[in-house]
Every structure is written in structure tokens, then in C-alpha cells.
Structure 1
Amino acid sequence: MGNSGTFGARSPAGRLDVIEEMDGWVSPRLQIRFEPSESGLQIFRPDGQPFLTFVELETLRLQAQQQAEQAQQRAERAERRAERLAECLRALGIDPDYIQ
């Protein structure tokens, strides 16, 4: 095991080889990089951006869900408003479906 206490294994040619030091190790197949951090092992995508944690992914999922719900509510309000305006036009003898 390396100094960081983190180790891994890889499987070239069908056998496992121990990776003694994961600090900065890049997977030859996936091109992802492994770096030890205070919170554990951080994994970076091939473009250098860190993979998100499960907590970060859940936060983003909840934010997206909330945004979708808000958009749905806005659409429903707009639909109700359009219907009210159409009723007003009908009360004036104007067919809202034929307004250009």
C-alpha cells in the first residue's frame, strides 16, 4: 500500500495487479484519475473535472425536480389565464380561436 493508505488493482491480460500508489494514477482504459483528498479518494473525469459525489448528485436531482415542478405550475397558471381571457372574449362576442 502507498503512503496515502489507498490502493487499487487493475486487470491487464485477465490478472489483477496491485496498484501500490493511487495518488495521481490514471486508468489506461477509462482515462480517469485518482487523487487522495481529506474526504477520501477523489476521482476525476478524462476532461479533468471531478466526478460528483452521491450527495452532490442528489442535490442536483432535487433542484432539477423543484425547477420542473415550478415550470409545471407556471404553465398551469398561464393556461388558466388564457382560458379566462378566452372567456372574456367570448363574452364580448369574439371567438378566441379565430383571432389572428
Structure 2
Amino acid sequence: MPSFDPPGFLQDFNQQQQEAWSDWMSQQLDDAKAGQPDVYDFDAPRPRFFNVTKTPLAADAVEKDISWTAFPRWWQSMRPPTKSVGRPLMEAGTCRTNIASGV
């Protein structure tokens, strides 16, 4: 893979911004792989981590769609639906309001 795409496949990045994003993502993966074992006891190097822009996938690599139910779907099923813009998104006690409405 030559580079990382912008988040959400944004189309408003110019070439320089796209390259900067890809470079930043690449550095984040390299840093995560290396860890910081000299700073944190629990942050050892991760040898199974790899940066696909620097290490190509194996010839026999297989892509697979994610088939498990992710957190957002679970969260939606656990809360009442919202009908109005200003209605709190969750019940009292853990109340968070709709940011768009400012309520």
C-alpha cells in the first residue's frame, strides 16, 4: 500500500495535506509497534504490529469482512431512540445532550 487515505475518505485535502496525513499515520504505527519499554513497564514492542506502507502483505494474505457487532450498534440498542434534536441522548445520571442543539 503506497499511502494511507485521509479519514473518512475526505476529498478536501490537497496533495500536501494527504501526504502529511499518510506520513503521520505511518509514524503512529511505527511508534505503536516500538512501544516505549524504557518509559513504561507495560509498553513492550509489538512484533506482530506492522506498517503496511513499509511492509507488504504476505502473498497468501486473505482479507475478511468484520462480521461481529461493534460497539455503536450495541449502544444504539441499549438506549431509547431520539426523536427531537434537543432531547438528551441518554437517561438521567449519565445524561449527555445533543451537541448540535446546545441543550
Bigger relative contact order, structure 1 or 2 (CA pairs below 8 A, ≥6 apart): 2
Given the two structures, how large is their TM-score scaled by the length of structure 2?
0.25
Q: Which has the larger radius of gyration?
A: 1
The structure with the greater share of residues assigned to strand is 1
